[in-house]
Chains A and B, each alone.
Chain A
Amino acid sequence: MSIEIQQSSVKIPLVDSTALDLDAFIPIFHEWIRERRIEEELLIDVADYRHVPYGPGVVLIANEAHYALDGSGGTTGLLYSRRRDEVGDAKAAFREALLRAATAASLIENEASLGGILKFDPSRIEMRVMSRLTAPNTEETRLALEPVWSGLLSSVGFVGAELKPQSDPREAFGLALQSCAEAPDLARLLAAL
């Protein structure tokens, strides 16, 4: 049975969050807009939240989604947050979110001005569905969505993935990859998607 969701998000943590210099992302994201680096998106603006502790850092605002160097939840990484126009059912939406997040993370890893100092770690990947209407943070939702997300991870090279749901019921439903026997690196993940 297909499950409809809205506002799926994927976060790919940084290997070393201390290497992150948020200041660098102001010109980088402006350049992405100027050069239309993400072809699938209408890139609109850069939102600067460097002053907010554990916040979204610097956000690239797009028509369908936002891309942030996010420090929430004790994990710093690239957060892709779909805002609208989901592509289909949960399976398709998760796949699309994972692809967009991995693509943006790859762009950052290869960003010349950063000199290759930022690397992402898919083995700690996190997923959320921000829409509390379509995916309230309940056991029922977990039973419905965990197999979909788990299946997607298996299909792109994650072996033995163990997922942990977000524990605070006030938060949006989410699953964090707690451990796995094998995880693809970013290049392999992108190739598999």
Chain B
Amino acid sequence: MSKDNGVKSWVGQLGASISSDMAEEIDAFETNIKLRKAGKLDAKIFAEARLRRGAYGQRYDNGRRHDGSKTQELVYPSGDLVKGPETIWDAPGMMRIKSPMGIASNEQLETLADLAEEYSDGILHVTTRQEIQLHFVHIDTTPDIMRRLAAVGITTREACGNSVRNVTSCQYAGGCRTAPFDVTPYAKATTYFLLGHKDIQDFGRKFKISFSGCKTNPCGMAMFHDVGCIAVTKEVGGETKRGFEFYVGGGLGAVPFQAQLLDGFVPEEELLPLCQAVCRVFSRLGERKNRARARLKFVIKKLGIEEFRKVVAEERKIIPEDERWTTYLADLDSTNETPLRPGRPLEQSAIDAIDTPVQEEFASWRKHNIWPQPQTNYVTATVRLPLGDFTSEQVRKLTDITRKYTGNTVRFTIEQNLVVRHVSESDLPDFHEGLVAAGLCSPGASTIADIVACPGTDTCKLGISASRGLAAELEKKFSGGKHEDPEVEALHIKASGCFNSCSQHHVADLGFLGVSRIVDGRRIAHFQFVLGGEWANNGGAYGLAIGAYPSKRIPQVIDRTLAFWKKEREEGEDLKGFVARMGRAKIKKELDDLRKIPSYEEQPDFYTDWGDSREYTIGDLGTGECAGEVVSIVDFGLQDAERRLFEAQLDLEAGKTGAASVAAYKSMLTAAKALIMVFNIDIQEDADRVIADFRTHFHDTGRFHDPFAGAKFANYLLKRYESPPSIEDNDLAAREAIDEAQLFVEAAQGCYQRMQGDI
């Protein structure tokens, strides 16, 4: 055992197994910890430093927790020491660990398992960006976690903060029937070319890149990434050239945007320089102050795709040549995986030999969890992980299985599962038996039972509703069920704890995002229902917001919606088509009675959320650390106003002029309410209350007044309040309402920035 100064340490233990660059970076981070503890490093700077190393905050890290009846102080031993604004040093945090393309080797998996046991709670959580998160981690232990990861080739660098996040890719890449070629080496090259690159160090916000093998399947999700690359080939001079359809400016969150095509064919040698050019443009033109508009999608919205294309092309011309742009192309086979065992077909006699009780389980598992590969007699098996969770013990059993049957790697998926590739079909019964023994044999991968959920109120500081609690409930409801209708079985459910869309609810058939409502003075967890998104075609379309329903009624909302669809659908009409034909109003009417709230006395458990016995509150909401700077509840509210405004614009485009007017007005009320929360956290929804408080705190004091336009924008709201919009409003009225709302919401953003002393 190596020792440093007579004390055992991972520095001494791991020694040369960590590259000198990585060792230096981690040492520097550990120094920052010491400086911060000594009061020699500003808390905000330290916060940014840890975020760029993947160390996030977690719920209750401000030292307060609502216990169901009152907020209790959590008195940590570290006292006043903080690791960021209002983030207590000793409070448990989350560690996000990058795994580019979701790939993890057996050795890496086993290291992750060790870390989960030693520093977390024994659970590895797979995210929708194909990474691993560990929760309840103490900041003091993070340098050792980083060292042990570095020793097996994993970095947490730029896992969070304003940087290029984990590059994702189709989990079937290299074993896919629909892809023209394997995107893995290109995704890998992009990952390591941009990691730590000087051109990505000054972003105003995060930046996400994905790679898809084809246009139709939902693996890479090009349409909601800042940069989405889809593999294509082209005949040039009698030769098949590899390249990419290159999409830019997609994104989810409060204001979802579909990506736009920047270039229909980017030759492979131009992939990295084009990515670099887009990054440089984003770094130069991306918003800095208004965080709600700081993603690439807003740059493109402002410039238009044609102008953006020109700017990127100009940027591309002036980037100094870099040999790394093409050196990897000489070794594209380096990421190939070689099957461990010869591919053989699965004979019926082998199935018949399975014990009878297990035969049905095997058939059920095989139906949805197997993906035939183009390589003859090989399949990819999906290991379904309920809510994305598995244990250290399960990891070790899994690596026993992969070492025996397949080889050295697994890949995490954006559906929070993992896949094992190159399984010989003849091995499937034994492979399945191994999974059964490990408790990793859940059938129904990528079906209605395979629900995706972000951490929500379980651990996220920004969670409003219990997305994991809801997902667990729905999973119980749908798992093991034999669905008569295969179209129902094929649907996808995704639940986010807030509008940030970490579960990717916009592209779910049945999507949910956490909101809350106050009824009779009591706050109740709700979910906004987003219906009819498209999971296929790289997330080809976003769902329609139907309305907010009490959290405890969501199972009924789903049942009712599916029954309505099955009853009213036309021949061959899928849910997305049904929603488009039927429209929001009819669906909403069908669900209307489910919005009713029983009294507290009648049904007190209605006032709790799924998986949590405490009476519901939003008092535990904290300050977000999504991108290295603070995201307050006011920011949230302002983002919500943006979302409503966006919905108003969609209504207008769809010819629903009255609905557009009403939504525009609601966006103003939402923005006003957000500002009021600075003074009154419990401000209620109703317009009378919002207007009264807005007058008191913002209009009469002049606080809201624009430095140049004075009370003009505030009066837009007050005018609308006196003369509310009508569902009968015509196109002209709707356009006017949206224009005014746009100006009001922007004025609200400006007001909040002034209040923060940003201007």
Contact = CB atoms under 8 A, between A and B. Distances in A.
A56 to B, nearest CB: 5
A61 interface: yes
A171 B67 contact: no
Contacts of A134: 8
A51 B440 CA distance: 12
Nearest to A43: B74
Contact of B611 (A26, A56, A63, A68): A26
A52 interface: yes
A11 interface: no
A54 to B, nearest CB: 5
B391 A72 contact: yes
Contacts of B27: none
Contact of B92 (A34, A61, A136): A61
B352 to A, nearest CB: 27
Interface stretch (A95-103, A125-133, A182-190): A125-133
A54 B69 contact: no
Contacts of A34: 67-69, 72
B386 interface: yes
Contact of A51 (B65, B90, B119, B475): B475
B121 A61 contact: yes
Among A44, A132, A168: residue with most chain B CB under 10 A: A44
B393 A73 contact: yes
A56 B121 contact: yes
B114 interface: yes
Majority SS at the chain A contact face:
loop
Contact of B74 (A44, A68, A83, A168): A44
Nearest to B436: A53
Given A55-B123, A171-B396, A130 B117 contact: yes
A42 B72 CA distance: 12
B393 A132 contact: no
B439 A48 contact: no
A168 B65 contact: no
B122 A56 contact: yes
Contact of A84 (B9, B91, B138): B138
Contact of A66 (B13, B91, B136): B136
Given A26-B612, A34-B67, A73-B393, A7 B76 contact: no
Given A47-B136, A56-B391, A133-B13, A63 B76 contact: yes
Interface in B209-264: none
Interface string A25-53: 01100100110000000101111111111
B389 A49 contact: yes
Nearest to A131: B118
Contacts of B123: 47, 49, 52, 55-56
Contacts of B113: 170
Interface string A167-179: 0101110000000
A47 B381 CA distance: 29
Interface string B574-592: 0000000000000000000
Given A30-B68, A30-B614, A133-B13, A52 B389 contact: yes
B122 A72 contact: yes
B396 to A, nearest CB: 5
Interface string B421-443: 00000000000000000111000
Contacts of B475: 51
A59 interface: yes
A83 B449 CA distance: 35
Interface in B107-164: 110, 113-114, 117-119, 121-123, 135-136, 138, 140-141, 144
Nearest to A73: B393
Contacts of B59: 45
A83 B114 CA distance: 13
Contacts of A54: 391, 393-394, 438-439
Contacts of A85: 77
Nearest to A61: B136
B643 interface: no
A51 B389 contact: yes
A48 B469 contact: yes
A57 B37 CA distance: 35
Given A30-B67, A171-B396, A172-B117, A48 B472 contact: yes
The 3 lowest CB-CB distance pairs between A and B, nearest first, are A53-B439, A27-B613, A34-B67
Interface of A: 7, 26-27, 30, 33-34, 42, 44-56, 59, 61, 63, 66, 68, 72-73, 81, 83-85, 130-134, 136, 168, 170-172
Interface of B: 1, 8-10, 13, 59-60, 65, 67-69, 72, 74-77, 90-92, 110, 113-114, 117-119, 121-123, 135-136, 138, 140-141, 144, 386-387, 389-391, 393-394, 396, 438-440, 458-459, 468-469, 472, 475, 611-614
12 contacts: A42-B74, A42-B76, A47-B136, A48-B458, A49-B389, A50-B472, A52-B123, A53-B394, A54-B438, A59-B121, A63-B90, A133-B9
Given A26-B613, A30-B613, A51-B389, 6 more contacts: A30-B67, A45-B92, A47-B135, A56-B123, A59-B121, A171-B393
